[in-house]
A and B are shown apart, each in its own frame.
Chain A
Amino acid sequence: MISKHNTGISDKTVYFINYVLITIFTLIVLYPVIFVLSASFSDGNAVMHGKVWLYPVGFTTRGYEAIFKYSAIMTGYANSLYYMIVGTVLSVFMSALGAYPLSRKDFSGKKFFMILLLITMFFSGGLIPSYLLIKSLGLINTRWVMILPGLVSAYNIFVFRTYINNTIPLELFEASRMDGINDFQYLFRIVIPLSKPIMAVLALWHAVGSWNSYFTAMIYLRDRNLFPLQLFLREVLLQNVDIDVSMMDIEEVNERRQLQQLLRYSMIVAGSLPLMIAYPFIQKYFVKGVMVGSLKG
């Protein structure tokens, strides 16, 4: 038996093949990012003729200068930041408000509210009834539509509740009760300060989702001044919205075309930059979040 095992592929070979394969995969993941970065710093003409494939050709920062001239992008940035920050703060706060009562085993409404929340995880009215609701609430084309509908998530409340149950000892609650601390005080002075790690996880989930989503904005917003960045990105990247060229001579038109091509690359970079910069720092919280979520099942 033993000799049979040893006639198999040697461990060294396996390790070597593993290194080769994983390096190839990592390069494949990396390549599109490098290409976009290089193209964003390249001459528009070179990009248009497919000359850029790995490194910048005819280095220039005109693509990035164009971003600052295109005021819509700045509007988008500001709006996205606003929706992200306000939405995240309120959403985490809501999760805390929901999680604490449900973590109390002696709470008489616990079972009822748990079921009420659980149902929303498995059944929803769907797109059209939600649309009709938002319409009748008069939320269409307001900033609130980007914040309110997604504010409370049953799943986040359950994750938060599990965290409280697992990490905050019951004795702490009993001792505070002895000291005459009521539920409001206990939540704000003890539960919330002790739950910072899980609040960081939930905040990240919400913030990343909010920054990256476009669907809600696409159906509910009409006013361009309210658009988040993703909608402007969609216009420039996917809908070929042309900058008005009717009043220009041919050279100028050509110039514009090149600039627009460049703008696509520089906007991808600019639009993804905030999360990419934050990513190395927030990554460990995300990993933690995956584990918390999976424990819950």
Chain B
Amino acid sequence: MEKDKTLWRVAMLIPPLAVFGILVVWPLFSSFYYSITNWNGFSADYRYVGFDNFLQIFHDPLFTRAAVNTVIWMLAAVIVPTGLGLVLALLIDSQVPGASVFKSIFYLPICLSAIVVGQIWVWIYQPDWGLLNTAINLVTGGNSHFAWLAKPGTALYAVIAAWSWQQTGLAMVIFLAGLTAIPPDLIEVCHIEGASSGQRIRQVVLPLLRPATVVVVALGVINSLKGFDILYIMTGGGPFNSSDTLAMHMYNESFKKYHMGYGSAISVVLFLIALAIIFAYFRQLRKVDEIYE
């Protein structure tokens, strides 16, 4: 019986583990290896360069730029979709008529591809007839033709706004799932005790939404690390690398300039950042679990 079980374990785990091992785990470790070489992507002739690629990172102003932008993107991800998603979830949860329609509307952008979302927002920022300038001109009566995506000062934030538009719906449904997990008796008690809506939300609902908040924040930070497609189509990291992120910088170095060794070093840095976030995330989840068990 126990021997049977072991046989089945092996037989059932080999296919998924083999695929995952060959196409995910092994490449991950190869990245470490390439990061200490000067491979150019095609030639068979490359050599070991030690930590030169990692030292180069410190002298690469474009890397610094990309790292700072990635941090800005993460911070924005924690503030904008999380805040907006929470507000929307609280509003929708208040048994308002048409709640499910509202939910679908706010959630819709999630099923669009980053490419399509990017394109939609390129039009919003279009200098001559885009929605943003049209709206500004309507309100101020001016004649603005500001090119939001072509100015180094605004390009990054314009892309983050578009990205947030898509991510807010995801944050909202996670908060909604958290809200339905709150026992209705508790809310009832608030009503009976005569607590105001503000008191109820601040003292009962928000503390109970802690697990959902952990998830939303972690996902936001992780997804901001992955932000590539939308950047590729909206600015390509420009103008003058002003909206570059680490993911974009890694792509440019590796597949535009064919500095695959240096690109691998950037991907190792990306991996370490992601690993740190994932560790913190799993630990927080466990803590949250302990509180509720």
Chains A and B are bound partners: no
Q: Which residues of B are in contact with A by a Cβ distance under 8 Å?
A: none
